[in-house]
Chain A
Amino acid sequence: MPAPFILDRSSVTQVMAWVLAALLPGIAVYVWLFGPGILVTLALATVTALAGEAAMLKARGYPAKPFLLDLSAIVTAWLLALSLPALAPWWLIVTGTLFAIVVAKHLYGGLGQNIFNPAMVGYAVLIVSFPLQMTQWAGPLELTSASLTLEQSATVIFGGDVPKTTLDAVTMATPLDALRTGLLQQLTVDEVMTQPIFGHYGGTGFEWLAAAFLLGGLVLWALRIISWHVPLAFLAGVWLTAGFLHFFDAGRFGAPWFHLFAPSVMLGAFFIATDPVSGATTPRGKLIFGLGAGFLTIVIRTWGGYPDGVAFAILLLNLAVPLIDQYTQPRVYGGARKGKEPQA
């Protein structure tokens, strides 16, 4: 038995539990704004993730208990569920979650080994394969005359019959979708923004969701579960890129605050880009990672084929992590840098 003989109280389980806890404000606001459908999605994703995790651990000959209890599969499930439309059909949720856990996590070597953020891989696979189903968003209750009960939501998700009029009444385009469609129709940003879906900063209701994710993220930072580097750099990347474009042509490019207060940016900045496994590890590397992901988010939103770019931006930066880490190694005590003797 080697030294040290004492340990701090931290554990992977504790880290993951705090991440889940920090998502709760966001989930609460989600329910308040969009109805309880998200709870069904979260539950289904959780069960699927745990089943997938258990099956893969068994197949790989690993003990199930310590790895199921580390809660990392549930974090993946929740992050994916929160990225999906609230009324996504059950098979979409199951496919995405299984892809995240089985392919993106375990086929890459399991906990700690995945190059890409599993939840974002699941999301990317779904949006590439099922673009139609991925846009069935519930509108905020402020704007829709009716909302679905928990039971009704479950019925929709599991493919049961719900009167089409009810469903049409509750679903609508997301603000990002609306902006994109409007701009494609040659409207200016100001013209698009007159639609009721747009609120003070972001989308009506959506901006509250973004604020709730921000709050959860700040809790994680206060607890030192995450460092400030990635979220701040990510938000700066989004703000600076969007601000730069908006400054030059406010008619064609959305305002930086609007981009910043899309929930996907806050969720991405504080919960997804901060995934330690697939992110950069050095302080400078984290800044580059965040800035790069923020920049690409706006680039993809503006010129890409999808309304939102957070998932693809993070996946692309995941790809660059080994390179970023290699070239941002900090100076060690006594002045030496990587591979070099200290300067005199």
Chain B
Amino acid sequence: MSRELFRFKGGVHPPEHKSESSTHPIHAAPLPRKLVIPLRQHIGQAAKPVVNVGDRVLKGQMIGAADGYISAAVHASSSGVVTAIGLQPVPHISGLPDLCITLETDGRDEWIDHAPLDYRTMAPAELRMQLRDMGLTGLGGAVFPSAVKLDPGTAHHCPTLILNGGECEPWITCDDALMRHHADEILQGVAVMRHLLGSTEILVGIEDNKPEAIAAMQAAAQKVDFAVEVVAVPTIYPGGGAKQMIETLTGKQVPSGKLSTDIGIQVFNVGTAHALARAVHHGEPLISRLVTVTGHVLRRQNFGVLIGTPMHTLITLAGDRDGTTGVLMGGPMMGVPMPNLEVPVVKATNCILVQSNELFPPLPKALPCIRCTRCADVCPAELQPQELFRFAKAGDFGHAQEYHLFDCIECGGCSYVCPSHIPLVDFYRYAKSEIWAREKEKRAADLARERHEFRQFRLEREKKEKAEKLAAKAQAARAQAAQDQTRRAELAAAPAAEGAAPSDADAKKALIAAALARAQAKKAELAPKNTDQLSPDTRREIEEIEARRAKILEQARQPLDTQEKN
């Protein structure tokens, strides 16, 4: 391996627990009777339903259309009848139900007409819209609509394309399994990405605890007609984070508040590349994915699962056991606890991790922070978590922002090493949600004040205009009266009255413009420092935060009292 690798700062080494599931072959999960397909499975606008209750739909048929640029369509994962469109529990951190389309499958699994796309002859914009309508999203966990990320923007090309096979979270092996068994298809997807982004350098980063995946990808790379460098990167959490993978492979850091494309790099998960290949070469929308079912089950393995399959069917399939204490979607570092097991597998579901007291003992009670700065040592965002904690706990959100709270990627490394066992990430989420809520309020207040000020200005202006109109009328009347006077006097009065009117109008325009400029300047001045240039990633994060705000607020406040007093 000739490439020089770079070491990002921080990181932790939690027990990997990969071999439990990665050594077994992939199984296709059977078709369930019922599929629950949420309309919001991605970042951005939820899809809008385009079917009605009672409609018969075919496998791959669009049932929710993308709503706007940052959105993605959703599709029926199998053929059947729409039985409900309404709120259902979904696997989201907020624990709140969301709009879903429920299908009763007919067992025929009948495909809608679909055909490969000739992506080389299509206009790039048209191809991206197609992909959006095929429901393509990132499958690494963030579920950002892929079409948006495949737009190289004003630079018209993105020299470096990184395929992320890091999979740094413990227990999860779905990307590993995908790379082992579908390496060729992954690279077919990369070819499409390369076509859209104009990338010249293609790097595949895989953590070195996945030698089989590395070998499979290297073998596949030999077969394609473009250069692909498969790189083994050190196993360290969160080395599979996009920013960390970029730094490991290129030594570059994405500037705070900017996008990786600003430094000419785009990153996709390997699963996304595979889904893209299925979409382009087979015309299949995103209706299934690989899911690792592991933890406290009898047969830990990876399943090919239709989107919308209830999680309990997978756990039953893997062999549920007594002593289950909970189920996470995702890994133990960033996973989300599931409210119940009726929730469906969605595009973001990479892993279903079943908990037990042996595998995941209850976390000990928190002690006060002793400022040991182990958190700062492991923070990959190079923050000072102990200070952020102090500010968040004290409700000093201004300082929290000044210390770059919004650069926190919530990887959980700080909580993992904290000798006082403080749930640090929870405090950051709480602070972020509070800041966002306050800014929303302030923006609303600013807008209201702006409107009020403009109304005052308008009323003044109208009053003035009325007075001027009256004055002009009086003048006109006087002029009328003077008409009987000499013809010379009449000629002199008329241009004067006419000349005055346009200059008045100009002055008014200038006044309005000045007032608007003032209002604009004030707004800019009041805008908070590090939330006005948010990257889409951060916006997405904030959007998520919004949804779970109410719950976290309660959670974060309680531990404060209980952790010290009990």
Contacts and interface: CB of A to CB of B under 8 A. Distances in A.
Interface of A: 1-8, 10-12, 14-15, 61-63, 66-67, 70, 72, 110-113, 227, 276-277, 279, 281-282, 325, 329-336, 338-339, 341-342, 344
B383 interface: yes
Interface residues of B, number: 67
Contact of A3 (B9, B332, B372): B332
B370 A276 contact: yes
B458 interface: no
Nearest to A274: B372
Nearest to B12: A8
B334 to A, nearest CB: 5
Contacts, number: 158
Interface string B408-420: 0000100111111
A30 to B, nearest CB: 27
B564 interface: yes
Interface of B: 8-9, 12, 14-15, 170, 243, 253-258, 326, 328, 330, 332-337, 355, 360, 363-365, 367-374, 376-377, 380-384, 386-387, 402-404, 407, 412, 415-421, 423, 425-426, 429, 529-530, 533, 555, 564-566
B443 to A, nearest CB: 20
B384 A276 contact: no
A66 B421 CA distance: 12
B16 to A, nearest CB: 11
Given A10-B374, A66-B367, A111-B368, 20 more contacts: A1-B337, A4-B333, A4-B334, A4-B412, A6-B360, A7-B415, A7-B416, A10-B417, A15-B370, A277-B370, A277-B371, A279-B371, A281-B376, A281-B387, A332-B383, A332-B404, A333-B8, A333-B256, A334-B407, A336-B404
A333 B332 contact: no
Contact of B370 (A4, A112, A330, A333): A112
**Most chain B beta-carbon contacts within 10 A, residue among A332, A338, A339:** A332
Contacts of A339: 402, 529
A336 B376 contact: no
B267 to A, nearest CB: 15
User: Which 5 residue pairs of A and B lie closest in terms of their CB atoms, listed nearest first?
Assistant: A334-B256, A4-B412, A112-B368, A336-B256, A339-B402
Nearest to A15: B419
Contacts of B426: 2
B426 to A, nearest CB: 4
A227 B527 CA distance: 40
Contacts of A329: 384, 403
Contact of B255 (A277, A279, A335): A335
Contacts of B421: 7, 11
A177 to B, nearest CB: 35
B409 to A, nearest CB: 9
13 contacts: A3-B328, A3-B336, A4-B416, A6-B170, A6-B333, A8-B14, A12-B370, A14-B419, A66-B367, A281-B384, A332-B407, A333-B381, A334-B243
A3 B370 contact: no
A165 B170 CA distance: 69
B256 A112 contact: no
Nearest to B555: A2
A6 B14 contact: yes
A5 B371 CA distance: 22
